Chain A
Amino acid sequence: NAGVTQTPKFQVLKTGQSMTLQCAQDMNHEYMSWYRQDPGMGLRLIHYSVGAGITDQGEVPNGYNVSRSTTEDFPLRLLSAAPSQTSVYFCASSYLAGRDEQFFGPGTRLTVL
């Protein structure tokens, strides 16, 4: 099993550009989520999904869009990048929400100039 994979590992964008961060898991997990990690702020939930076709907002959803067309994939779209979105982004998955361990991808380091 590859676990949770994320691409790209690094990305530099200019303000106003759009892009999609890819996330895939091969563990047949229903629950997937996106977090951003900023110094001194821990991880904050952006969007999450409890299954294919179902998504919902987390703590910091503004400027981001998600969809879940398959169980395996959960891409995160930046609609119009802003310097405030410079961060490290982590995708995670688990069998269910709540008590199950979340498995994290290696992260994408994004810089917006």
Chain B
Amino acid sequence: DTAVSQTPKYLVTQMGNDKSIKCEQNLGHDTMYWYKQDSKKFLKIMFSYNNKELIINETVPNRFSPKSPDKAHLNLHINSLELGDSAVYFCASSQGTSALNYEQYFGPGTRLTVT
């Protein structure tokens, strides 16, 4: 069973289009994330939701809009795609507790190419 799944795995689209990426986790976690990994391999947090509530919103263009219909799903919609949006987008989840050490589980990634 896949713990964190993303669809699609690959997405090739033209500039100006609108696209969505979906993420689902079956781990029962209460917190989900979107990360972007660019061509230089930097993995940067974009958004985080805890129990469907947005708790982290980094400096991301407002063309990116996350949506969490329930705590097992976190989708990412991108409007007016630009060349610079090409990257691998990773979804992740974790079980938030008061402990400082915990593990984030990542999905397989969605490789977005904007042409």
Pairing of A with B: no
CB within 8 Å of B: which residues of A?
none
